[in-house]
Structure 1
Amino acid sequence: MPTEPENTPERIQEPRLWTGDGWTAQVIKNEDDDGWAVAMVKDGEPEPALVGPWTMGRDKKNPKPLDGPAFSTLVKTANEFVRRHEQQLHAALHQSIAVTAGTRRITVNLDIEPDDDNPSATLSAQDDDGQTLAEVRVAPSFKLNRASAVAWAEGGFAKPRER
């Protein structure tokens, strides 16, 4: 009979608490109304990644107990939610736009380094061969769009003025 590796936490499968697959599902009282909610917490994280409504049981007072299929669905939903959030964050921090400046086609990138104390950003330009044409530090609030990219390139890649 296979045994769990020593560093793997024991699976819990209780009516209001399930663990496994890197997640913990806990059925909690919904503070906004008389119903119930389920909180999905990724292992090692202090806060739930997802909190959603949970079904009432047959008595209409207590929550429906967690079970294997419900837990599997919750894990899948939570993983998808976290993945979409990470994709949105990546898209916000790493922007790219292809423009024509003069007769050249260039790609302008804005890479933001979030930091609570000292956020920063780098604006860069590459030609079609991937050669870096310019790279400057800009404010993390710099707005990259077609007009700002063309203006930067046509301005000789001088550091854009802060607004």
Structure 2
Amino acid sequence: MTDTTPTTESDDTLPLQQDRLWRDERWTARIIKNEEDDGWAVEMTRHGDPEPALVGPWTMGRDKKNPKPLDGPAFSTLVKTAAEVIRRHEQQLHATLNRSVTVSAGERRIRVTLAIVPDEDNPSATLSAFDEADDSELARVNVPASFKLSATSASAWIDADFARPR
């Protein structure tokens, strides 16, 4: 297959369709030599990301020596798969950085959340309490990013009248 759009080496955002390289406005698929064996691999990189979102094996061509050329359906499938990998990674990161527990305090149910802001130099976190009946915020304090939220720590914070945990 040949290029469908003229490009220059410095322009890596224009659409391109070659046997071993496909690119659209958001993604680049590149067939590369698999360093692990004699086969081929494909890497999918979202534009602007430093690393590929997906690297996987690629099918050999009919000559059993060269890779099968990329085509439109394969590129579409790779885009969907790579986007799903990124989506799942983002969900996992969100779940790691945002925790929530609900505890009983007297006659009320209180939802306590911990939101961590990752930062290499100065990570931080916010501990918040919400009345489950009307979702009103009862308290909010800054805590170390290392704070461990559990039902026990949430209850202790509530019992201390929402004083900043040490």
Same fold (TM over 0.5): yes
- Percent of residue pairs bearing the same amino acid type: 66
Q: Match for 2:108: what amino acid?
A: R
- Secondary structure in structure 2 of the residue aligned to 1:28: strand
Q: Match for 2:88: what amino acid?
A: R
- Secondary structure in structure 2 of the residue aligned to 1:126: strand
Q: Is 2:78 aligned against 1:67? A: no
- Secondary structure in structure 2 of the residue aligned to 1:152: helix
Shift of 1:10: 2.9
Q: Match for 1:149: what amino acid?
A: A
Task: Please name the residue that 2:82 is paired with.
Answer: 78
Q: Match for 2:95: what amino acid?
A: A
Gaps of 5+ in 2: 6-11
Q: How many residues align?
A: 155
The one of 122, 132, 150 aligned to 1:145 = 150
- Secondary structure in structure 2 of the residue aligned to 1:46: coil
- Secondary structure in structure 2 of the residue aligned to 1:45: coil
Task: Please name the residue that 2:8 is paired with.
Answer: none
Task: Please name the residue that 1:29 is paired with.
Answer: 33
Gaps of 5+ in 1: none
1:1-163 map, 5 Å: 9-128=13-132, 129-161=134-166
Q: Match for 1:92: what amino acid?
A: T
Counterparts of 1:111 and 1:125, CA distance in 2: 12
Counterparts of 1:147 and 1:55, CA distance in 2: 53
Given that 2:117 and 2:123 are in contact with CA atoms closer than 8 Å, whether structure 1 keeps it comes out as yes
Given that 2:14 and 2:25 are in contact with CA atoms closer than 8 Å, whether structure 1 keeps it comes out as no
* Per-residue deviation, residues 116-144 of structure 1 (Å, max 9, x unmatched): 11000011101122222111111112111
TM-score when normalising by structure 2: 0.86
Counterparts of 2:158 and 2:126, CA distance in 1: 15
* Per-residue deviation, residues 87-106 of structure 1 (Å, max 9, x unmatched): 11111112112211222211
Given that 1:102 and 1:154 are in contact with CA atoms closer than 8 Å, whether structure 2 keeps it comes out as no
- Secondary structure in structure 1 of the residue aligned to 2:120: coil
TM-score when normalising by structure 1: 0.88
Shift of 1:9: 4.0
Given that 2:115 and 2:126 are in contact with CA atoms closer than 8 Å, whether structure 1 keeps it comes out as yes
